[in-house]
Amino acid sequence: MKLISLRNAVLAAAVFAAGPLLAEGHGFTPENPECIAPANPGGGWDFTCRQVGKSLQDLGLIPSTMQVVNLSGGGGGVAFAEVVNKRADDNDLIVAASSATATRLAQGAYPGNNMDQVRWLGAIGADYGVIAVAADSEIQDLTGLMDAMKADPSSIAIGGGSAVGGWDHLKVLIAAQEAGIEDVRAVKYIAFAGGGEAVTQLLAGSLQAFSGDLSEAKGFVESGDIKVLAVLAPERLGGEFSEIPTAAEQGIDAIGANWRGFYAPGNMDDMAYDYWVEQIGTLYASDEWKAVMEANGLAPLDLQGDAFQAFVAESVDSITALSKEIGILQ
């Protein structure tokens, strides 16, 4: 249960986090607001940029349309390198981040590999993990999937939008370990550049299962293309997601909450930084964003500025310990 207590520590920090730290008077307005999504269209980072950009504009919190740039590769490493090396003083730029970002930093996978090379702005919610199969799959529940993996690990290829050792991979390993699979390194995981790409391969028959987040899976569930076997939440979610069983209900005590938020270039000036922290905090507190969270199955995570910076540092430390425990890090 050590794994779960580690994840619960991060989850507890997410659910019981302090309120927003809003800046007072920033004296800055972006000329060309831009958000980098470090993956191809269709995944969680893409959702974060596009939904937040639209909501910021709808609420009048930015002066013009947010340009979204998809910069895929290296589990977010290509985007991180671009920001650190080429755009370190860009005051108009924010970058989508998540537990996957903290995972790659924890595992030494990013250029320079230091979370302090960028500035951490704020969170916009936590996205629970899901494990899903194609709608026409013979596998009916999470227990069935784990039983098939126990019988022949090589027969079940699971894909996700994070790199090998990344957050989508770790969620599967946590569930596998809780299901009694002794050598989780035998689990067959295939990495894709984004969650949307992984689901495409699931539907094409190249994969038997998908590991991702609810926001990534939502559209495919609504279209009837995939069947979610379990949500990795402590209890069932509300609204349209209330029919999805938890892993725990099926005897597999696995929890995986993926925080979603933003970082900014490391040399962004303080006025610009305070502006973005304030706008993200104002967005988060709005009724409009509460509706977006409910519609997409996002859980509360109310952290901005220094509090968010401290939370990310704690996430990196927790995932480092988790990665060592599972054997991904020595």
Q: What does the alpha-carbon distance between residue 178 and residue 319 come to, in Å, rounded to a whole number?
A: 17
Helix (H, G, I), strand (E, B) or coil at 20: coil
**In the listed set 219, 250, 281, which residue is the last one of a domain according to the structure?**
250
Q: Are residues 149 and 119 in the same domain?
A: no
Q: Are residues 77 and 223 in the same domain?
A: no
Q: What does the alpha-carbon distance between residue 57 and residue 44 come to, in Å, rounded to a whole number?
A: 20
- Element containing residue 246 per DSSP (H, E): none
Considering only CA atoms, which of 264, 261, 310, 262 is closest in space to residue 84?
Answer: 264
Q: Are residues 195 and 96 in the same domain?
A: no
Q: Kindly give the confidence (pLDDT) of every residue in the chain, 330 residues in length, as a single tens digit, with 9 standing for 90 and above.
A: 334 333 443 444 444 333 333 334 458 999 999 999 999 898 889 999 999 999 999 999 999 999 999 999 988 999 999 999 999 999 999 999 999 899 999 999 998 879 999 999 999 999 899 999 999 999 999 999 999 999 998 899 999 998 888 889 999 999 999 999 988 889 999 999 888 899 999 999 999 999 999 988 989 999 999 999 999 998 898 888 899 999 999 999 998 889 999 999 999 999 999 999 999 999 999 999 999 998 888 889 999 999 999 999 999 998 898 888 778 888
How many domains does the chain divide into?
2
Reported as a single tens digit per residue, the pLDDT across 116-164 is 999 999 999 998 999 999 999 999 999 999 999 999 988 999 999 988 8
229 is in which domain, residue-wise? 128-250
Q: Are residues 91 and 143 in the same domain?
A: no
Q: Are residues 187 and 261 in the same domain?
A: no
- Element containing residue 19 per DSSP (H, E): none
User: pLDDT at position 306, please?
Assistant: 96
Q: Are residues 244 and 285 in the same domain?
A: no
Q: Are residues 93 and 56 in the same domain?
A: yes
* Entry pTM: 0.79
**In the listed set 220, 250, 280, which residue is the last one of a domain according to the structure?**
250
DSSP 184: G
Domain of 190: which CATH number?
3.40.190.10
Six-digit token string for 201: 């391969």
Six-digit token string for 308: 């968010």
Q: Are residues 122 and 262 in the same domain?
A: yes
Helix, strand, coil content of the chain in percent (nearest 5): 45, 20, 35
Q: Are residues 229 and 286 in the same domain?
A: no
Domain of 267: which CATH number?
3.40.190.150
Q: What is the dihedral of CA 33, 35, 40, 42, to 10 degrees?
A: -90
Q: Are residues 278 and 162 in the same domain?
A: no
DSSP 249: G
Of all residues in the chain, the percent with pLDDT exceeding 90 is: 69
**In the listed set 232, 250, 268, which residue is the last one of a domain according to the structure?**
250
Residue with the two structure tokens 């190249």: 206
Would you say 57 and 65 are in contact if contact means Cβ atoms under 8 Å apart? Answer: yes
Considering only CA atoms, which of 2, 107, 35, 45 is closest in space to residue 323?
Answer: 107
Would you say 194 and 242 are in contact if contact means Cβ atoms under 8 Å apart? Answer: no
DSSP 316: H
Q: Are residues 41 and 79 in the same domain?
A: yes
Alpha-carbon distances, residue 175 vs 41, 203, 206 (angstroms): 27, 22, 22
Q: Are residues 261 and 118 in the same domain?
A: yes
